[in-house]
Structure 1
């Protein structure tokens, strides 16, 4: 009996030690090309405006470009999906601006927003977009948790078939992001926190 108890104790001790090692596993730092870099180098690059960081697992952190440019294969198909979701016809000769909300996270649920601030910020955004291209942004979410604070101000719509995520936001970026698509399907996407100026500038470029 004593032998069994002793062996059980040893087993628990070994498990505890191994669990501790796993929980304290060294964090791996990666650049935007998945190359391993030092923590100091990671932090140095992260603090520039060009790059942003996200964690793709518990034990790794990776750098990602804040801005991405590309071209989708069919703007027409995207228009059809969006028109059905927002119940509104889109002008195929004008840019499409999409504000994308990934879900509740540490960045977009810090409690600093008020109804007044939200209304002013999005009102200013929409006014600028109308002046540039006579368009309104489309608000798309992946997960609507914590969006109740936008009620009566912003009309968020569920990502149709996960299309917006698949095309533009395959990785998780905190807060919210945006993408602007030209009439020809070229696009500029910007990940995580952004100002109205960035949206306006991208829209001007995609409206040329």
Structure 2
């Protein structure tokens, strides 16, 4: 749907939308940053991830997937303070016993695959890209998937606290 430039800029400024390439070089598309729904074949997702050598999943716990699309301006600047990242990462690790935390990448360019305590795997069969991350959203994205198949995804740059909030909400409502 075509909208005026004024409306476009208003929606883009709201942070509820991201700008992605459109059908031609003259057009850009706004994409809503939040996605939710239900996966029909949730057991296949668990089995696929569980079959990969570095992950052993508990099928009764939600999957929290951190998704890295590849290097871009946003995820290669390195401007965020490590102390803030560490505090939030510690918070995520506190709920680690309640979740299956997986780190998935599409393109590992710029990704330090050997970070302490972080193991990354390539998107199996492009499952995560096809189902949740249709575009290269800046910085990366995440999706939380409940054992029931209900999911919530946040597209593009996010603070780690969003993962915590989304996971808690999904755990409470499942």
Please tell me the TM-score bracket, short chain as reference.
0.7 to 0.9
1:72 is aligned, of 30, 39, 46, to: 39
Aligned to 2:131: 167
TM-score, normalised via structure 1 length: 0.73
Cα contact 1:53–1:62 (8 A) shared by 2: yes
Distance 1:149 1:157, change over 3 A: closer
Q: TM-score, normalised by structure 2?
A: 0.86
**Within 1, Cα distance between the matches of 2:103 and 2:53?**
9
Tell me if 1:52 matches 2:18: yes
- Conserved in 1, the CA contact under 8 Å of 2:113 and 2:119? no
Asked if the contact 1:51–1:64 (Cα under 8 Å) also holds between the matched residues in 2, the reply is yes
Structure with greater helix percent: 1
Count, aligned residues: 171
Runs of 4+ in 1 over 6 A off after TM superposition: none
| Unmatched segments (≥5 aa) in structure 1 | 1-34
Report what 1:96 is aligned to.
Answer: 63
Q: Any conservation in 2 of the 1:119–1:153 contact (CA below 8 Å)?
A: no
Correspondence for 2:98 among 119, 134, 138: 134
- For residue 110 of structure 1, report the CA deviation from its aligned partner: 1.7
Distance, in Å, in 1 between the alignment partners of 2:15 and 2:93 is 26
Higher mean Cα deviation, 135-144 or 50-59? 50-59
Unaligned runs of 5+ in 2: none
Deviations 1:35-59 (A, max 9, x none): 1122222111111132222223432
SS at match of 1:198: helix
2:4: which partner in 1? 38
Question: For the Cα contact (< 8 Å) 2:113–2:120, is it kept in 1?
Answer: no
Q: Secondary structure at the match of 1:166?
A: helix
Q: Which has the higher contact order (CA 8 A, sep 6+)?
A: 2
- Bigger mean CA offset, 117-126 vs 79-88: 117-126
**C-alpha contact (below 8 Å) 2:65/2:143 kept by paired residues:** yes
Residue aligning to 1:180: 144
- When residues 86 and 200 of structure 1 are mapped into structure 2, their CA distance, relative to the original with a 3 A threshold, is farther
* Cα shift at 1:128: 4.3
Larger Rg belongs to: 1
